[in-house]
Structure 1
Amino acid sequence: MITVWSSGETELDDVDLDTGDNRPEHRDLTTTQELHDILASALDRADPGTDA
Structure 2
Amino acid sequence: MILLVFSLFNNRAQSGEYMYLFALNLEPIFQLTFVSLIMLAGPAVIFLLAFRGGDL
TM exceeding 0.5 = no
Flag the structure with higher strand content: 1
User: Which has the bigger relative contact order, CA under 8 A and spacing at least 6?
Assistant: 1
Q: State TM-score, norm by structure 1.
A: 0.31
Flag the structure with higher helix content: 2
Q: State TM-score, norm by structure 2.
A: 0.30
